[in-house]
A and B are shown apart, each in its own frame.
Chain A
């Protein structure tokens, strides 16, 4: 009786999801711009003086945070489970979910470009380099204890390949994939996050005294070691997010009472590449599993 009703083109669906994601990002973007404006104003005196901004440190976490929070903006409060409007549309559900994820990723990359450009400009104005030209390497490859003797520090020229510019994008993507998997795959992602954090804290609090009491050394040490491996190891989280700049450096006070960023190892881009592949691979698998929960109910 009826002519087959037409389905939309995937390209149109993707474009529409990009537009819709922007609608959800208007307020967070405004907040971000506001924060940046505040930071610029605060840094103004330093900029005028031409002094060092000490950018190293907190900005390296921003890409990871942006990636982790983006899924919330993309999926928002809309029904993901049950008969949500999203799933009643005439598009294959897995593909539809992927277009939403992709739309969010596009805006994530755009937002990062804006953020990094701002950082770059600030750095240039103050005469600094975002990526340091010289690394103050400690002679002994170990974190310093107490005050540092300037004699133990060597200024080593560092000229990493341009690929280092991809570090924030890779880090944000990895976090975005994992965050999306969590948001899409669970009904209450926040409860899961809190649950895992609390469980981890509980284990950490218990295992230490328990281990020392019963003389089980590995138990006392395990939580700390686990965190170390997860974050600071060769392919850990820090490798993904900052190419291990955080694990390999710190701001130390010299015996001359000046403060200086000292390193006990040089970031290795090959390691960073592997770490990125590992984490984005893990994220992709988790995402695919999460999306499949909502797939079309095909029967054999």
Chain B
């Protein structure tokens, strides 16, 4: 279920057209038409798999897709790799920091020579806020500390697009919140566009304004988060024997009470329409529960990890 959200008039920061990439038998990306509006905070959700990270790598021109194209701020990522990368702050999935023999301070200085817009004062602020120790050797950092250095590397030159692949992975909850708070402040200052992939959808709920769901490489949902939460709800129903949920509403999370005829399931669709169809199918609605952003998004993903 893809929706434009009504704001189709605004420019898009990132667009992909039929992007496909396959590793062996599994399609990591399968005809993906991503649309990230300019200035949006777009959360990309999906099961563990190469899809989300592959998408980021294609945008950074680190991978060549099998089919399709991608554009960042109107520039084709394959033909204008360096120009595109100049405007992107990238936090990669893996935490292998480069130049392991350098100190953190030296590494930041090294990175600053590649980005003329680097703001040294802001970098210092980020270093202090994220408790990065400048004199530590990069090679001796833990996973979480490396992650924090990578965040500074991505934010310090205020790029117009942030590509964050599991940015809070490896960070303890306190640092996580601080990092996200920094991100919120960063967005207030720069009006950057953010494309973030995460497993911790909950902590991004208040930041996100767009959601995309990747399933088996296909983009099965892409819309503003308000629309998503309006269109996915959990319904508690009293049903006759042998009742099945109408398939057009993509039922997930179906639970039947062991006794009686009470069923709880998550359905995708506009509330009134769903209620009408349910009534028509013989079910009686006993309750409607709105879902968190995480649960709404998960409604589009398969339930069993097969």
Contact = CB atoms under 8 A, between A and B. Distances in A.
Interface residues of chain A: helix, strand, loop or mixed (majority): loop
Interface of chain B: mostly helix, strand, loop or mixed: loop
A20 B99 contact: yes
Contacts of A5: 83, 86-87, 117, 159-160
B4 interface: no
A23 B101 contact: yes
B22 interface: no
Interface stretch (B59-67, B250-258, B274-282): B59-67
B57 A8 contact: no
A191 interface: no
B182 to A, nearest CB: 21
A interface, how many residues as a size bin? 20 to 34
Given A5-B86, A7-B82, A83-B92, A16 B98 contact: no
B115 interface: yes
A297 B64 contact: yes
Interface in A82-119: 82-93
Interface in B69-89: 69, 73, 76, 78-79, 81-83, 85-87
B62 A87 contact: yes
Nearest to A91: B82
Contacts of B116: 6-8
A188 interface: no
Contacts of A16: 110, 113-114
A197 B25 CA distance: 37
B102 A13 contact: no
A83 B57 contact: yes
Interface residues of B, number: 40
B57 A2 contact: no
Interface in A46-103: 76-79, 82-93
The residue in B38, B87, B94, B117 that gathers the most chain A C-beta atoms within 10 A of its C-beta is B87
A237 B271 CA distance: 80
A258 interface: no
Contacts, number: 98
B244 interface: no
Contacts of A84: 98
A293 B117 CA distance: 30
Contact of A7 (B61, B69, B78, B83): B83
Interface string A204-243: 0000000000000000000000000000000000000000
B11 interface: yes
A86 B114 CA distance: 11
B98 A92 contact: no
Contact of A6 (B57, B81, B86, B113): B86
B90 interface: yes
22 contacts: A1-B11, A1-B13, A2-B73, A2-B160, A4-B83, A5-B86, A5-B159, A8-B114, A8-B115, A13-B114, A23-B106, A76-B101, A85-B99, A86-B98, A89-B85, A90-B114, A93-B81, A296-B78, A296-B82, A297-B78, A297-B81, A298-B78
A132 B78 CA distance: 58
4 tightest Cβ-Cβ pairs between the two chains A and B: A85-B98, A90-B86, A5-B87, A297-B64
B99 to A, nearest CB: 7
Given A8-B116, A86-B98, A90-B83, 5 more contacts: A2-B73, A79-B98, A85-B99, A92-B81, A296-B61
